[in-house]
A and B are shown apart, each in its own frame.
Chain A
Amino acid sequence: MAIFDNANYDFIKWRWHAIALSTLIVLAGLGYGITRGVPLGIDFSGGTIVVVKFEQVVGVEQVRSALAAGMSGENVIQSYGDPANNEILIRVPQMVTEEGAALEQNARAIVDSITKANLGKFEVRSQEIVGPVIGADLQRKGIYATLASLLGITIYIGLRFRFAFALGAIAATLHDVLVTLAFLFFFGYDLSLNVVAAILAITGYSVNDTIVIFDRVRENLKNKRRDSLDTVVNLSVNQTLSRTIITAGTTFLAVLSLFLFGGEVLEGFAFTMLVGIISGTYSTIFIAAAIATVLSGKQAKGRAPATRKAS
């Protein structure tokens, strides 16, 4: 059984369309981020989150009015996870005051307000308080880790393949990061530690996919010296097409299970992975090789292929 028997699609023909589409999504995402601001989770923005589980049914509005009595400011109050669990998440922004004892004031105020409002028995399921120092620190680290990871991969591919290919791979990876971010914005997910971890995992996955094709290109260039680079690249994409689709499909299935059963804590992580897998597969087929061919120049022939030998 095979999905693509002797696949022979002209992917290279579509490269400009693909680049245009991706640019559009990325620009829309960037526009969204610039106009509305990047939605940061408390890991990065600082603030307080308390998740409370009630014994009986309590509405979000009830909690809101309970808090309004005791606390001011823009609070986010929403039902958390399965509605049958009666769990409510309360997020309060960072107080302006400096670190110290003040840090836990908000969390205490939340619990006190709910106790006073007499909403029945409840249990604090989790409580997260992130001060401004840590928030800024994690922001810096997150950006640093993502960039360093991209750079590290570029260097590795640059060593293993010719440089234009490294640029193609990194363009595809950067593309995946940006597209994933755009979709996170569209679907209203906050940027949290877990989401950044998922984005880093996506960089690994995306490059992984791209390398499989590049490896095949390198192999084909050795055997088919007469064909143009475009032809060889297109052939390689087609030869690896089944593998690309099957791998993406199975990984997608595995992560889908995480998205469905992994619970609220990992939802953002799983969603990021799902988008990243789709984007990674798309960019592997349409973007990575396309950019590599464009950068290698139109006239590039199969001769003088990989600058270094495979081993």
Chain B
Amino acid sequence: MSKNLRWKVLVIVGVTALSVWSFYPPDQKVRLGLDLKGGVHLVMRVQTDDALRLETQTTADRLGEQLKTAKIPAGGITVAGPTSFSVAGVPAEQDAAFRAALTEVEVNYDRSSGVGGYVFTLKPNIVVQLREDTVNQALQTIERRVNELGVAEPIVARHSAADQILVQLPGVTDVNRAKEIIRSTALLELKQVEQGPFPDEGSARQAYAGNVPPDLEILPGTLEGAPGQPATTGYYAVRRVAAVTGRDLRNARPTLDENNRPAVSFSLNNDGARKFGIFTQANIGKQLAIVLDGRVQSAPQIQSRIDDEGRITGNFTNQESQDLSLKLRSGALPASLTYLEERTVGPSLGADSVRAGVMSALGGLLLVTLFMLFYYKLSGFNALVSITINLILLLGLMAYVGATMTLPGIAGFILTIGMGVDSNVLIFERIKEELAAGKGVKQAVAAGFDRVLLTILDTHVASLISAAFLFQFGTGPIRGFAMTLTIGLLSNVFTAYFVSRTLFELTLSRRQVAKLSI
């Protein structure tokens, strides 16, 4: 064996060993996609309009307060949509004073004159910024919730459109629970109750003669029935501005209330505790509304000053109290979510697919093996070695870059077998031609490989181009296919040309071969 040849063999053995090391043992090193492992794939849209509307509402409220303090009469402030509100009926003689009050509003809003007043519209760049922030916040919140769920290797990422989020949870079987946990806004607010509960919304409004002051709002709430009776819905008039919100939470955990029913206890951070202490001190004897996502969970009486501990009771099951604590711990979503796409694969189907995929890959390899040995005899064996090394490299590279194996990815494996065969056939047929043209065995083999290299490169580049666009298309399984195909094509250039050629040279170096078995 020449020194040159020895090096080549060493490279091949080394690369193969490295690949085996990289993917062995495969059930730990090769990452399976959802379609093989089972799990759920969700695409959702963040309703960023929610966040814009909140911003506009808050700004309008604040301006109202400001005008009140400055004693500027305004006919009415109306929030017209998520990004605009209007102010009507400012007297002409107070126009200058009104404008002076706008400095803060006009940082974010453009002012224009409308019919009998002014219209304020959120500036376009602020809209973009707010939407972006909202999606990012939602993404972080969902990430925290998913992590708390304890799913191995979850994916939480932005999806194709700007306001879409993709969540993949491998191995999750209770899809509805996962969806519920992800979707809940989980906004906790502690507010002061002014009046209530009323049996229906109408009578709540009646208490204010149909004209609820702007700093109050009517919220539905759960009323516990007498023992044995089902809970009913009642309505409370509460302060619009919360004393403390979920933002001031330090922790939340499941607990039991005095009747041994599941509940959630929470503690506040320093800032929240200070605010809550002042608030409860000033309101002893009044009712405190514990509001979750716009619904009053309970409205206990404030007995004494409370600093940093509280408890949410309600008709929770154990699971619900656990899930609620999880959601509170991970923070509220800045906007609501709607689901656009949901795909669930049961674990049994995934296992079946793995079996089917492996079966078809082995079946394909076997059929190809039989044909190659029959048609190309000993040279066919050569091709098989190079194809097998190709598959080993493919697995090794996939494990190394952490690519995900999907069912279409297995199809990519099978196509890689096809590509490997193709390159070998291309070479063999060329060698046959050179032999037929009267060249010696060594020269024919050398000429065969040299002449075909360019063709192999051309065909592989063209295939890589289509694989690249395939990668751009769709998520999950299809990407797995494109990934496998790409890696397979790259490693095939190495195996078909370098490995296969070395094998030939190895055979021919040992002895004088007069006739090639091809």
Give A contacts to B, CB under 8 Å.
Answer: 1-2, 51, 53, 99-101, 103-104, 123-131, 133-134, 137-138, 141-142, 144-146, 148-149, 152-153, 156-157, 160, 193-194, 196-198, 200-201, 203-205, 207-208, 211-212, 215-216, 219, 239-240, 242-243, 246-247, 249-251, 253-258, 260-263, 265-266, 269-270, 273, 310-311
Which residues in A have their C-beta under 8 angstroms from that of B352?
Answer: 263
* Chain-A contact segment, one of B114-122, B265-273, B418-426: B418-426
Check B344–A126 contact: CB distance below 8 A.
yes
- What are 20 A-B interface contacts by the 8 Å CB criterion? A51-B349, A126-B344, A127-B175, A127-B342, A129-B341, A141-B474, A152-B466, A153-B466, A156-B462, A197-B482, A198-B411, A200-B470, A200-B473, A250-B421, A251-B422, A253-B368, A254-B367, A257-B361, A257-B364, A263-B407
Which residues in A have their C-beta under 8 angstroms from that of B365?
Answer: 254
Which residues in A have their C-beta under 8 angstroms from that of B349?
Answer: 51, 125-126
Inter-chain pairs besides A197-B470, A254-B365, 9 sampled, C-beta below 8 Å: A51-B349, A99-B340, A101-B339, A148-B469, A156-B461, A247-B426, A262-B357, A265-B35, A270-B411
- CB A108 to nearest CB in B, in angstroms, measures 9
Q: Is the interface of B mostly helix, strand, loop or mixed?
A: helix
Which residues in A have their C-beta under 8 angstroms from that of B62?
Answer: none
Check A149–B344 contact: CB distance below 8 A.
no
Cβ contact of B465, chosen from A156, A242, A273, cutoff 8 A:
A156
Q: Which interface residue of A156, A262, A311 has the most chain B CB atoms within 10 A? A: A262
A251 to chain B: closest residue by CB: B418
**Quick check: is B432 within 8 A (CB to CB) of the other chain?**
yes
Check A104–B408 contact: CB distance below 8 A.
no
- CB A14 to nearest CB in B, in angstroms, measures 23
Which residues in B have their C-beta under 8 angstroms from that of A138?
Answer: 474
- CB B172 to nearest CB in A, in angstroms, measures 13
A103 to chain B: closest residue by CB: B339
* Chain-A contact segment, one of B11-19, B147-155, B452-460: B452-460
Check A131–B339 contact: CB distance below 8 A.
yes
Check A204–B458 contact: CB distance below 8 A.
no
- Across the A-B interface, the 6 shortest Cβ-Cβ residue pairs: A257-B363, A251-B418, A254-B364, A263-B356, A145-B473, A204-B466
Check B341–A134 contact: CB distance below 8 A.
yes
Check A197–B474 contact: CB distance below 8 A.
yes
**Quick check: is B429 within 8 A (CB to CB) of the other chain?**
yes
Check B346–A123 contact: CB distance below 8 A.
yes
Check A257–B425 contact: CB distance below 8 A.
no
Check A253–B367 contact: CB distance below 8 A.
yes
Given A99-B338, A126-B344, A211-B455, also A204-B461 (CB < 8 A): no
Which residues in A have their C-beta under 8 angstroms from that of B509?
Answer: none
**Quick check: is B156 within 8 A (CB to CB) of the other chain?**
no
Which residues in B have their C-beta under 8 angstroms from that of A207?
Answer: 459, 462-463, 466
Cβ contact of A201, chosen from B361, B465, B485, cutoff 8 A:
B485
Q: Is the interface of A mostly helix, strand, loop or mixed?
A: helix
A270 to chain B: closest residue by CB: B411
Cβ contact of A129, chosen from B342, B361, B417, B485, cutoff 8 A:
B342
Give B contacts to A, CB under 8 Å.
Answer: 35, 43, 45, 160-161, 175, 179, 338-346, 348-349, 352-353, 356-357, 359-361, 363-368, 371-372, 375, 377, 407-408, 410-411, 414-415, 417-418, 421-422, 425-426, 429, 432-433, 451, 454-455, 458-459, 461-463, 465-470, 472-474, 477-478, 481-482, 485
Which residues in B have their C-beta under 8 angstroms from that of A250?
Answer: 367-368, 371-372, 418, 421-422, 425
A161 to chain B: closest residue by CB: B458
- For the complex, what is the distance from the CA of A242 to the CA of B375, rounded to whole Å? 12
Check A134–B43 contact: CB distance below 8 A.
yes
- For the complex, what is the distance from the CA of A145 to the CA of B160, rounded to whole Å? 14
Check A153–B462 contact: CB distance below 8 A.
yes
Check B338–A101 contact: CB distance below 8 A.
yes
- CB B369 to nearest CB in A, in angstroms, measures 10
- For the complex, what is the distance from the CA of A253 to the CA of B417, rounded to whole Å? 11
Which residues in A have their C-beta under 8 angstroms from that of B410?
Answer: 262, 266
Cβ contact of B462, chosen from A129, A157, A269, cutoff 8 A:
A157
Which residues in A have their C-beta under 8 angstroms from that of B469?
Answer: 145-146, 148-149, 152, 200
- For the complex, what is the distance from the CA of A135 to the CA of B360, rounded to whole Å? 30
- CB A149 to nearest CB in B, in angstroms, measures 4
Check A254–B414 contact: CB distance below 8 A.
yes
- For the complex, what is the distance from the CA of A148 to the CA of B470, rounded to whole Å? 10
Check A126–B346 contact: CB distance below 8 A.
yes
- For the complex, what is the distance from the CA of A240 to the CA of B371, rounded to whole Å? 19
Which residues in B have their C-beta under 8 angstroms from that of A144?
Answer: 473
- For the complex, what is the distance from the CA of A207 to the CA of B419, rounded to whole Å? 13
- For the complex, what is the distance from the CA of A246 to the CA of B383, rounded to whole Å? 14
Which residues in B have their C-beta under 8 angstroms from that of A149?
Answer: 465-466, 469-470
Check A125–B346 contact: CB distance below 8 A.
yes
Check A197–B408 contact: CB distance below 8 A.
yes
Check A194–B462 contact: CB distance below 8 A.
no
Check B343–A160 contact: CB distance below 8 A.
no
Which residues in B have their C-beta under 8 angstroms from that of A196?
Answer: 473-474, 478
Which residues in A have their C-beta under 8 angstroms from that of B418?
Answer: 205, 247, 250-251, 254-255
- For the complex, what is the distance from the CA of A129 to the CA of B344, rounded to whole Å? 9
- For the complex, what is the distance from the CA of A208 to the CA of B420, rounded to whole Å? 13
B357 to chain A: closest residue by CB: A262
- For the complex, what is the distance from the CA of A261 to the CA of B364, rounded to whole Å? 10
Check B459–A212 contact: CB distance below 8 A.
yes
Check B342–A246 contact: CB distance below 8 A.
no
Given A215-B454, A251-B421, A253-B367, also A262-B478 (CB < 8 A): no
Which residues in A have their C-beta under 8 angstroms from that of B461?
Answer: 156
- For the complex, what is the distance from the CA of A50 to the CA of B368, rounded to whole Å? 36
- For the complex, what is the distance from the CA of A142 to the CA of B472, rounded to whole Å? 10
Which residues in B have their C-beta under 8 angstroms from that of A133?
Answer: 45, 161, 340
- For the complex, what is the distance from the CA of A59 to the CA of B16, rounded to whole Å? 51
- CB A270 to nearest CB in B, in angstroms, measures 7
- CB B190 to nearest CB in A, in angstroms, measures 28
Check B360–A204 contact: CB distance below 8 A.
no
Check B429–A243 contact: CB distance below 8 A.
yes
